[in-house]
């Protein structure tokens, strides 16, 4: 992953420390067919505002996709930007936003990657381990791996591969729009994550949980 030319190089000791932490967290990731009875589905998203971050959680009834709760938390960003370690900038604020929820979701859909990450620990996986909750990632752009373009009709799927490992699926959630990249985060498997992502992409490219989290991030920015 190339270092952006406009940024100063990161502190080597910090990179080593984060790499060690990332490896410890990665070893705790469990990929499995979920055991929950899915009734409440959360979506979350974060938006950076200078040196601060706004994190939003929404909770929807499943399968009705009726909004039952929305919360947000705004705070300072403690960690500099380092490619491959973005989750360390996002996760602390997301955890604080999650703690404000009155409804406990069975599954969290994260705007970002799960194991579809160079070291198999994207924000969805990291957040899942930190909260000990089932998570899945739905991202708008690929971070790592190679794939064929899925057919242009909704429901078309191709595998996302990295180092001969199937780390995610590339899913067309709407006819003739760019696909999304779905991967399991924690306590989740790819088959279930793919089914839920497709089933909750009702009218838009993004599934409703992350679409609404992104929507309310823009709304809540006006309250900060």
- Residues 31 and 193: their CA atoms lie apart, in Å, by 11
Tens-digit pLDDT profile for residues 3-45: 455 666 778 899 999 999 999 999 999 999 999 999 999 999 9
Question: For position 142, which CATH number holds?
Answer: 3.30.2170.10
pLDDT given at position 4: 56
156 in Cβ contact with 172 (< 8 Å): yes
Structural domain includes residue 198: yes
What range does the domain containing 183 cover?
35-221
Residue 111 in marked binding region: yes
Question: Mean pLDDT over all residues of the chain?
Answer: 95
Q: Find out whether 214 is annotated in a ligand binding site.
A: no
190 three-state secondary structure: helix
Listed range (35-44, 82-91, 93-102, 132-141) with the worst mean pLDDT: 82-91
How high is the pLDDT of residue 7?
62
Q: Flag whether 10 is in a domain.
A: no
Number of domain units in the chain: 1
pLDDT band, residue 224 (cuts 50/70/90): confident
- Full-model pTM: 0.94
Give the whole-number percent of the chain exceeding pLDDT 90.
90
């Amino acid at each position: 992953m190339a270092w952006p030319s406009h940024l100063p190089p990161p502190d080597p000791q910090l990179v080593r420390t984060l790499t060690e932490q990332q490896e410890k967290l990665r070893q705790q990731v469990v990929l499995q067919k979920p055991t929950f009875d899915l009734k409440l589905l959360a979506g979350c998203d974060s938006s950076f505002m200078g040196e601060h971050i706004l994190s939003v959680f929404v909770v929807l009834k499943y399968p009705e996709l009726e909004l039952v709760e929305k919360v947000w938390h705004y705070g300072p960003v403690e960690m500099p930007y380092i490619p491959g370690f973005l989750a360390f900038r996002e996760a602390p604020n997301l955890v604080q936003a999650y703690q404000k929820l009155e409804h406990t979701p069975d599954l969290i859909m994260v705007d970002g990657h799960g194991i579809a990450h160079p070291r198999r620990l994207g924000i969805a996986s990291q957040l899942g381990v930190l909260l000990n909750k089932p998570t899945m990632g739905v991202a708008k752009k690929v971070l790592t791996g190679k794939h064929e373009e899925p057919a242009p009709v909704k429901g078309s799927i191709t595998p996302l591969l990295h180092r001969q490992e199937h780390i995610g699926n590339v899913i067309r959630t709407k006819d003739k729009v760019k696909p999304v990249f779905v991967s399991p985060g924690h306590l989740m498997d790819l088959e279930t994550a793919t089914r839920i992502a497709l089933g909750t992409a009702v009218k838009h490219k993004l599934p409703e949980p992350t679409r609404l989290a992104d929507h309310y991030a823009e709304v809540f920015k006006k309250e900060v």
